[in-house]
């Protein structure tokens, strides 16, 4: 199992390294990672994040849904799926997904803020969250 996880991680690392120049190659590496460990949600989480950065809402939805099939307790996947659904104009589905994220991670204040914004009808780009998380990490690490 350890060798499989190492190989899976290697394929994920390759996908992360090439996604900006060659998204198709990145997705192929993630397909390989998924084949190496079909129970892992990580290849689909990474793929969904890549799709978000590429503004590919349909692929984002597909990959985060597949991730949740493997791990329905991932607050991050529910959050991103909610944002993808919001961008597609499916606000009620978006609100429900972010409510699930809040239930799974009630101590994350950003989730409450996002939920309130979605309830008000706002659409939130996933890239806007990147800046918040980067700022938070920078503040903690100096």
Q: What band does 57 get if pLDDT is binned at 50, 70 and 90?
A: confident
Neighbouring residues of 104: CB distance < 8 A, sequence distance ≥ 6 = 73, 74, 75, 78
Region of poorest pLDDT, from 9-13, 18-22, 91-95, 117-121: 9-13
pTM here is 0.84
Q: 99-130, pLDDT tens digit by residue?
A: 999 999 999 988 999 999 999 999 888 777 76
Which residues make Cβ contacts (< 8 Å) with residue 43, sequence separation at least 6?
A: 8, 11, 12, 15, 30, 31, 33, 34, 37
């Amino acid at each position: 199992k350890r060798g499989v996880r190492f190989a899976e991680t290697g394929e994920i690392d390759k996908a992360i390294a090439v996604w900006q120049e060659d998204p198709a190659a990145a997705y192929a590496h993630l397909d390989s990672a998924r084949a190496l460990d079909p129970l892992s949600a990580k290849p689909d989480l990474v793929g969904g994040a890549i799709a978000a950065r590429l503004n590919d809402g349909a692929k984002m939805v597909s990959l985060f849904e597949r991730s949740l099939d493997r791990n329905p307790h991932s607050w991050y996947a529910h959050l991103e799926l909610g944002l993808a659904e919001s961008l597609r104009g499916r606000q009620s589905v978006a609100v429900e997904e972010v409510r699930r994220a809040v239930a799974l991670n009630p101590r994350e204040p950003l989730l409450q803020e996002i939920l309130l914004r979605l309830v008000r009808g706002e659409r939130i780009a996933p890239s806007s969250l990147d800046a918040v998380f980067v700022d938070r990490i920078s503040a903690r690490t100096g």
